[in-house]
Each structure stands twice: as C-alpha cells, then as structure tokens.
Structure 1
Amino acid sequence: MSAPAHPDSTDLDRIHAAVKREKEDLAPESQPAPLWATFLLMLVAIIAGGQLGPMTGGWSFDVSNPFALAGGGDPRPGGAGAGGTLDPFALAMKKGASGYAVCGGCHQGNGMGIPGQFPPLAGSEWVTGGTERLIRVTQHGLVGAITVKGAGYNTPGGMQPFGAAMSSQDLANVLTYIRNSWGNEGTMITKEMVQKVRDEEKRATQWTEADLKPFADKNVPGDIPAGPGATAAAAPAAAK
C-alpha cells in the first residue's frame, strides 16, 4: 500500500516550465536600445539643429512671433508694438518700475520705508530735491544718521552703492520712477545726467548727510526730454 501524497509534493519544476512556456521570449531586435545609443542620437540631433539654424536664416522673435503674423506688431504690454510709442519719460517710468525691485525690500513697494531704519521715498525731500544729491546717494551709497521729513533714520550698515551694479540708463530709470511715484513729482533724470556725475566723482566710500549738504538743491544740468519740466521736444523712444 503506497503512502498518501504529501500536500507539498507538487512538482515545482513542472509548474515553472509551464509558466515559462506561456511567456513569450523577446526577439533579439526588440530588446531596449542601449543607453549609449540613445545618448548618441541626442548628440546628433543637437549638432544637426545647430547646423540647420544658420542654414535657414536662424531663429528670430520678429519672424517667429505669432503676434507679428497679424501685421499689427506685438500688442502685449511691453511688446515691440507698445514700447515703440512711449515717450522717453513714460518709457523711463515703465522700466524704472521694474528696476525698483532692488530698492523695494528696504523702502517698501509703497515707498513708505520702515520707521527708524529705512527712510520713506514718498514725499521725501531727498527724492524730489536736487537731482545731483539723489544721483550721488544711489551711485556711492549713504552711511550714518539722516533726517527725512523731520524724522531720524539710521540704516544698519547704511545704504549700499548701486553704481557698480546698475548702468547709467538703469539708474536714471529708477530715479525717474521714484521721483514720480507715490504722489511725488519731479523732472526725469537722464542717462547723460547720471553719467556726468559718474565721470566727475570717483568716490570710493559711502556719503554722509553732511557730505551731501552742498548738493541738496543742486540739479545736474541737461535737457529734460519729456515729463514734468520738459525742456526738449519729446520724441518716441524705441523699447530696448
């Protein structure tokens, strides 16, 4: 009499063989491409694209811009169609608003500053007064206690100079913007005015309030092309 079959005496090899028969082996040509081949194809595509661009005249926003296809220029804010119609003052205000981002952290977006530390720009005699003092402050920085609108301020570390970080045009745009925002009104400051101060003053240290007193009401000479107090006929300025 034979012993009963053990419940675990199943022929595992036979079951595995059946499973393997149901899994179709991949043909050699259907194996995944090796990584080096994928990398090589990408490299060829990049080189080919670089060669094709110059051969077809290159990519140009003026040509490829979908707005330009309608024949009306770029109608988006700040696009070529809109910027080309701005006079120098309006263009300086537009660009100055963007450049003011580097100042807003201290003087705040509303130009009100922080009591005791960062003086306000809104209604500030430092902003609406002589253009030469304002240019010198932003060009070389300011350190020590100062008085603005009758209140005292002492910025930790002082105001840092922006002359090395901003071009004469960028600096002129920002200064024009703060002189005509938050209720302020003043003549625009041009690139030529900023450059004139840069050429004349090679100071390597920050100013103090006492140092700047002689320039408090002094304006840098030069034509004011548009805006308040314009002295020259305004001409449309192309957006850059």
Structure 2
Amino acid sequence: MSAPAHPDSTDLDRLHSAVKREKEDLAPESQPAPLGAIFLLFLVAIIAGSQLGPMTGGWTFEVSNPFSLAKGGDPRPTKEGEGGAADPFAKAMKKGAAGYAVCGGCHQGNGGGLPGQFPPLDGSEYVLGGTERLIRIVQHGLTGPVTVKGQGFNTPGGMQAFGATMSSEDLANVLTFVRNTWSNKGSMITKEMVAKVREEEKRSTQWTAPELEPFAKKDVPGEVPGAAAAPAAK
C-alpha cells in the first residue's frame, strides 16, 4: 500500500485556519470606504469650489498671483526681450565664467598660467590686445613658442582649437569673461564678432605667434548691446 497523503495537504479546515491566522479579518469599522461615498465627496468639493469663487469676488490670475505687481512687484527674472531683462554684458560674464572651466585646467583659476608651459591670461597682451587675434586663437588654436608678459612659453602640443566644439556665442562669452576678470578690463566680444571671423577665416591648422602678428592690434568691428565694461571695439 502507498503511504497516506500528508494530513496538512488534505485537511481543508486546517489550511483555512492557517490562512486566517496569517491575515486577520478586518473589523466592520475598518472596511474601505465605498466608492460611492468617495465620488460623492469629490462632487461636493467641486460644487463648493465653484461657489467659492463668486463669493470671494471671483478668481483671476492677477488677483490670486502671489507675485502680482500690486503686491510689491514680480521678483522673478523675466525672459530676454521683456522689460527688465538682464544686461547682455552681465549675462555674458555669468555664462563665460561657467565656460571658462575648459580653460582653467591650463591657465588656472586665477588666470596666472604655469611657468614655461601655459601662459597667463591675467594682464596678457594677447587677451587685452586686438580682439581679432584673440578670436582667431580660440577658433583654431596656437602652437609653437610665444612670449607673454616678457616670459617665454611653449605649450606641449600647443593650445587646442575650440571652434569645432563651441558655438560663436559660447566663445564670445568666455572671451568677454577673460577680458574682464582678474585685473583685466576690455571691451565685450559678441557672438556676431566671432561669427564674422569664422566666416572670413579659412584655416584648418593651429596658428603660430608670427602668423598672428598682423592681427595684434586689430579689433573686430561691431556693436555691443547694453552696458559693457569698456567701450565697444571700433
């Protein structure tokens, strides 16, 4: 004869008792609320809300807006083109400060560079000289020996080009930041100025210091919108 089945697998009463021990029945007062009651509460809330508006003078954005001009003015920044928009120079400086992260590794956060390798930007004649030379350098890079503030530098591999990886606006912001940080004070460089040089410049290799000499004192013409740290380049 075969062995009898295990009593726990056949005794339904025992199985049901085990289930009841694991999960007790809810008391009548703990039962979930009926869906009908929930729907009724939502309906009452909607009707009450629709009546509350007329009773309080009606809802309008101007009345309920916590930033209403009648309450002391709107402190939120406005979009560009609206009244009170941020000054273009201030915006360029702010964005340029973030973009300078790609330069700071070599030229350092204080703009002082590293002796013999990376020339300083603070007080550099390349930074404060002709804007066209400066734009051409960041556009296609610079290689070979260069003299800055009376000291010689020869960066291994040269300075990389950023024209292919940064937009005209990004380059303009970084250059404006560099020309107006530390002890520097120069004119603002706009994206239109950078774009103008890009259109005219037909080059695929890095510049050398002698090649850039004709642009040493040449500024890219263009208007500077809003306030600037110095008069626009002529």
TM-score, reference length from structure 1: 0.64
1:87 shift after superposition? 1.5
- Aligned pair partner of 1:70 in 67, 73, 92: 67
User: Quick check: 1:123–1:184 contact (8 Å CA) kept in 2?
Assistant: yes
Distance 1:133 1:169 in 2: 17
The C-alpha deviation readout for 1:74-96, integer Å capped at 9, x for no partner, is: 65xxx548995322211111111
**Could you tell me which residue of structure 2 aligns to residue 130 of structure 1?**
130
1:199 CA displacement: 0.2
Residues 121 and 178, structure 1, Cα contact 8 Å, conserved in 2:
yes
Higher relative contact order (CA 8 A, sep 6+): 1
Report the CA distance shift for 1:231/1:172 in structure 2 as closer, same or farther (over 3 A). Answer: closer
Matched AA of 2:107? H
Stretches of structure 2 lacking an aligned partner (at least 5 in a row) = 1-13, 24-64
Structure 1 equivalent of residue 62 of structure 2 = none
- Could you tell me which residue of structure 1 aligns to residue 160 of structure 2? 160
Counting matched residue pairs gives 172
The AA in structure 2 aligned to 1:70 is F
User: Could you tell me which residue of structure 1 aligns to residue 214 of structure 2?
Assistant: 214
Q: Does 1:229 pair with 2:226? A: no
Cα displacement (A) at 1:208: 0.5
Alpha-carbon distance change, 123 to 131 in structure 1, aligned in 2, over 3 angstroms: same
Residue 188 of structure 2 aligns with an amino acid whose one-letter code is M
Distance of 2:233 and 2:213 partners within structure 1: 27
Query: Match for residue 44 of structure 1?
Result: none
2:186 & 2:89 partners in 1: Cα distance?
Answer: 11
> How far off is 1:224 after superposition?
2.5
Change (3 A) 1:231 1:100: closer
Structural mapping, 1:69-88, within 5 Å? 70-71=67-68, 73=74, 75=76, 80=78, 85-88=85-88
- Counterpart amino acid of residue 180 in structure 1: N
* Cα distance change, pair 194–231 in 1 and its aligned pair in 2 (3 A): closer
Give the structure 1 partner of residue 193 of structure 2. Answer: 193
- Runs of 4+ residues deviating >3 angstroms: 23-27, 68-75, 79-85
Greater alpha carbon shift after TM alignment, 86-95 vs 97-106: 86-95
What residue number does 2:115 align with? 115
Look up the equivalent residue of 1:189 and give its one-letter code. Answer: I
Distance change (3 Å), C-alpha of 1:81 and 1:126: same
Matched AA of 2:180: N
Structure 1, unaligned stretches of length 5 or more?
Answer: 1-19, 30-67, 233-240
Aligned equivalents of 2:216 and 2:20: distance in 1? Answer: 85
TM-score, normalising length: structure 2: 0.66
Contact 2:222 2:232 (8 Å CA) reproduced: no
* 1:140 paired residue number: 140
Q: Using the alignment, how far apart are the partners of 2:210 and 2:110 within structure 1?
A: 28
1:172 aligns to 2:177 (yes or no): no
